[in-house]
Amino acid sequence: MAKAAKTAIKTKDQKAAAEAKNWTKVIKAVRSPKTGAYTFKESIVHKEKIKDFLGEK
């Protein structure tokens, strides 16, 4: 029998757990000027800076 999944975050520092929800992994497709192939740039960005990350070249 499988163990039940627990939805609560178990950590001693609840403030750090709440702050972690403000970060997002963003993946951006970037086209190579030499070959024309796409590569992917990924980063973990604060949710307020997502548009800045996607807007930069």
Of the pLDDT bands very low, low, confident and very high (cuts 50, 70, 90), residue 15 is confident
Task: Tell me: pLDDT of 7 over 60.
Answer: no
Task: Tell me: pLDDT of 5 over 90.
Answer: no
Q: Is residue 37 situated within a structural domain?
A: yes
Percent of the chain residues topping a pLDDT of 70: 79
Q: What is the pLDDT of residue 20?
A: 83
Query: According to the 3-state scheme, what is the secondary structure of the chain?
Result: CCCCCCCCCCCCCHHHHHHHCCEEEEEEEEECCCCCCEEEEEEEEEHHHHHHHHHCC
Domain that holds residue 46: 22-55
Q: Average pLDDT of the chain?
A: 83
Q: Is residue 40 situated within a structural domain?
A: yes
Q: Is residue 32 situated within a structural domain?
A: yes
Q: Is residue 2 situated within a structural domain?
A: no
Q: Is residue 33 situated within a structural domain?
A: yes
